[in-house]
Amino acid sequence: MRTTTAHHRKDLSMSLVISDLSKSRHGTSLLNGVNLELRSGAIHGLFGRNGAGKSTLLNIIANRLVADAGSVSFDGNRMTDGGGMWERLMLMDETWPYPVEWRLRSVFRLISRRYGGFDDVLAGRMMQAFGLRPDARFMRLSTGQRGAAKLVAALCAPTDIVLLDEATDGLDAAARDLCYRFVIESYGDRPRTMIISTHLITEVEGLVEHAVVLDHGRVLESFDMNELAQRGRMLSGPVGSVRRYLADNGLRTLSETVLGGLLTVGVRGVPSAPMPEDVVMRSFDLNEYVIQITGMDKGYAS
């Protein structure tokens, strides 16, 4: 997936503000004091290993779960205050909040009435690309087709906030590529706040403008993508050379991997000392960085 969004676009007139958000279930903390300010008109990535709190956070934003403490507001208005706030938001996840026996065209008509419109032109292109028929019943669709139908519903409603929670589950590589292209097309036609939560980080790196990493219910890091290059480096070379360089410069490692006689380490920041001739330094990509800081390389689920 090579198509990218403009990482420089900023619109601070509205933002999604999450303040001191906490949620527990059966004595287990799911979110613990989450604070975020996500600017509007941007595509945000929400990342972390299984159980980090990503789906819980999205469901609270969408008012499908009630937080134990804290608040969510958009454009200065609390999302729980009513007044049509929920007509401004669409969450796509594993659920289908419509009668499964309904035909897709009937569902889309309902969405149009509920949200004050529906992009029939984009919906038509998407359905043709994914092989969906307007008269198909949701319960008769395959897993991949159900995912595509959910994406049509999410992208074609005229909302200000779109939350995509593992939107490409059940889709093959070609269908996922179509999914990302339609996300960009929808965003280009109607810039709005989008949050994409996925484990397929490499596939969405070109889409997201801002990344949020959750770990054990807390915000581990939140940064714009143009800051990624300065957040860390990978060093690789002979074991002795790399270890001497680390020791001489007081560098702490995020991870270490030895293969044969070569040691590869991840470090925070950008080392300023000259690199030995036999040691290679390169930037992280987003997937590598998330793995490094969340410990996904240490046996955790990804």
Task: Compute the mean pLDDT over every residue in the chain, rounded to the nearest whole number.
Answer: 92
| Listed residue (130, 171, 167, 180) closest to 2, CA to CA | 180
* pLDDT given for residue 296 in this prediction: 56
Distance between CA 186 and CA 123 in Å, rounded? 10
pLDDT score of 77:
86
Q: What is the mean pLDDT of residues 149-176?
A: 96
3-state SS assignment for residue 165? strand
> Percent of the chain having pLDDT more than 90?
87
Kindly report the pTM of this predicted structure.
0.90
* Domain residue extents for the chain: 11-227, 232-283
For the cut 50, the answer to whether the pLDDT of residue 299 exceeds it is: no
Q: How many CB atoms lie within 10 A of CB 135?
A: 9
Strands (E) across the chain are located at 11-25, 28-40, 43-47, 69-74, 77-78, 89-92, 161-165, 193-197, 210-215, 218-224, 232-238, 253-259, 262-268, 280-283
Query: pLDDT tier at 1 (50, 70, 90 boundaries)?
Result: very low
As a whole number of angstroms, the distance between CA 116 and CA 165 comes to 23
Q: What is the DSSP pairing of strand 11-25 with strand 69-74?
A: antiparallel
For β-strands 210-215 and 218-224, DSSP reports them as antiparallel
Distances (CA, A) of 265 to 110, 152, 235, 243, 261: 53, 42, 5, 9, 13
Cβ atoms of 222 and 213 closer than 8 Å: yes
What percent of the chain is modeled with pLDDT above 70?
Answer: 92
Considering only residues 302 and 157, tell me which one the structure prediction assigns the higher pLDDT.
157
CA atoms of 123 and 129, how far apart (whole Å):
10
Residue 102 has pLDDT above 90, yes or no: yes
Helix, strand, or coil (residue 59): helix
* Residue 188 confidence (pLDDT) above 70: yes
| Least confident interval from 102-116, 147-161, 283-297 | 283-297
Parallel/antiparallel/unpaired status of strands 193-197 and 280-283: unpaired
Q: What average pLDDT does the segment 120-137 reach?
A: 98
pLDDT recorded at residue 214: 98
What is the distance between the terminal CA atoms of the chain, rounded to a whole angstrom? 20
Fold entry, domain 11-227: Rossmann fold (3.40.50)
Q: What is the pLDDT of residue 91?
A: 97
CA angle (228 as vertex; 18, 162 as ends), nearest 5: 40
Tens-digit pLDDT profile for residues 37-67: 999 999 999 999 999 999 999 999 999 999 9
Task: Count CB atoms within 10 A of the CB of residue 289.
Answer: 24
